[in-house]
Amino acid sequence: MGEEAPDSNGGKRRRIGIYERFTERYVNRCLPHILIFPQIKRQEQSALKSLDRVSALRILLAQSAPQLFDRSTMSGHLEVLKRLLQQTEVYELHAGIDLYRQPAKLVDLLEQARGERDAAHCY
């Protein structure tokens, strides 16, 4: 572990080498196939709906603001976002109380959303 150093918010940070610290859990490569944008809602039932890639890109860009203003990393960052959206199914999750009580219900919501998506592509 590295030395503690002050951060810009008046707190302290310490650099940790993740690979060195957690060698048994290290994964060399991860290829995501599903991208979910969650929103916590005050509703009883959760809902998962397919999201188009343009809307997903808007969300990702909004979350990437600092990287987009750095010319040295901008093109690489945009390429990563492009590849991410090309390889994933994209969903928007409105997480309700039911999902809070039973997190495993997300699997059912995902299966249902995939079925609806596949049915829409058949026509």
Rounded to two decimals, the pTM is 0.70
pLDDT digits (tens, 9 = 90+) for 18-38: 777 787 877 778 889 999 999
pLDDT at 121: 61
pLDDT at 122: 60
The low-confidence residues of the chain, meaning pLDDT below 70, are: 1, 119-123
pLDDT at 119: 65
pLDDT at 59: 94
The answer to whether the beta carbons of residues 37 and 56 sit under 8 Å apart is: yes
